[in-house]
Structure 1
Amino acid sequence: MRRARIAWQGAIHEAVPHGEHQLKLADGRIVDETEVIWLPPVVPGTVFALGLNYADHAKELAFKAPEVPLVFLKGPNTITGHRAFSRRPADATYMHYECELAVVIGKTGTRIAKSDAMDYVAGYTVANDYAIRDYLENWYRPNLRVKNRDACTPIGPWLVDRDDIANPMQLALTTRVNGVTTQQGTTADMIFDIPTLIEYLSSFMTLRPGDLILTGTPEGLADVKAGDVVETEIEGIGCLMNTIVDDGTWFADDPFKKARTA
């Protein structure tokens, strides 16, 4: 099952797909997908993000693949929804997308065995974890300005139930910028798979419902500019779209009218 969270007519609703371009609310009303504000499909708890979790991406950056998961945390301010704006700061010379499979934790657990790990997954969504290379200290230590800027990580549009994805480690990932394919990969190339990540994280932290694990991105990064429309798509999960804006557009009005994090 695919589920979304939207804001419409002053309220937050759960919705499911209806036809090609419509949504059906829990009360049965039908709305056009362009008439709503898409919210993150889950209210995020702790957000874990993986660096260099694809061998081809590590090679692309001339780094040796990590021997243990390279994990950093992201604040809830970073998360926004489908069709939202993301800001490219005026001083940025290179800002790139990162198409990532996001794993949504469904129940509380600690010291979870790898063999039991998938029982703790509620489902999956698509994430696009933008980074600005100008702010990067090094790839092993992304500082706050790289990965914790407001609305720098759209997720959505759907939360797809775990049981609806037969094998999350065999999914195609694709990024398009203004309709042109720039990134292609597969979750099969992850260095640390989902059960390994859950076992690792839960060995020293309690995982709770709503926690997100952003599992990294394959090779194929490219600079994006203000005005670019970026689509990150994962097979069986959905296609997440957002638009890059400049400082003038971002600060002209409350950006969170366009990039809801509720």
Structure 2
Amino acid sequence: MAGPQKRRAEQLLTIFENSSLKPAYGYAQNLNDGRGITFGRSGFCTGTGDGILVVRRYVQLKPTGNPVAQYLPALQRIDDAGGGGNVVGLNGFIQAVQGAGSDPLFRQAQDEFADDLYFAPSQKLAKQLGFRLALTKAQLYDAYIQHGYSDPGYDVYPISANGMADWVTKHLGGSPLDGVDEKLWLVKYLERRRWVLTQTDETWAESAPRVDVYTWISQLAGWLLDKPMQLTWERCRPDGSRGPCQPQPLRTQLNIGGVIYGGFFLE
């Protein structure tokens, strides 16, 4: 997945994470979801092991005059204790991240880890499972960011991106690499992912509409992510429901209404 396809995948991710087409590098908030402080363009968290990696990389890139460097010891203690919602020692961290959001080096650290932690592993799994469609690869990338990776045997494995992929593959008796129809595999994965989101906790349940968007794109046969998309807050279906507009006014772009994240045009 490269070029316009990856650009649209990144735009979708940014819309879901930041309700904007521009990555929110300076975003930081304690959502009280057991993951500590969520921050940055990809929702890195102080209690899940990825946040400390971003901060470490930023400190490497900018060892002096770095507003978040002072929080490394607290982040390390949280990480050593198993992570979670503990924010002891992080007083002022949110303000520090907000202040560093415009720093090109902080942005570089976030971009590097978004690729290393999420994009590269998701595309590696996509290759292992035999995916060819850009939409399948894009939503798997999105799932890696939201659900994370887990080794089998851990409690979180069933709700991890790769754990859900394993569940779907077993449910269908194989993956596209084995001859299973990729479109069917993707539909089942989206169904499974939405179920996991609604059953895990309230914070994840609130984010289930991001899966709906991928489902609606599949319903419009946007498998290749090769067309611009118009997402709108207003519903555009005769029955007042959310989803693909009826009729589609243009065949050169996909039109979807009732998107809770707002109105955006993805070129």
TM-score, with normalisation over the residues of structure 2? Answer: 0.24
Judging by fraction of residues, say which structure has more strand. 1
TM-score, with normalisation over the residues of structure 1? Answer: 0.24
Judging by fraction of residues, say which structure has more helix. 2
Structure (1 or 2) with the larger CA radius of gyration: 2
Query: Comparing both chains, which one has the higher relative contact order based on Cα–Cα distances under 8 Å and sequence gaps of 6 or more?
Result: 1
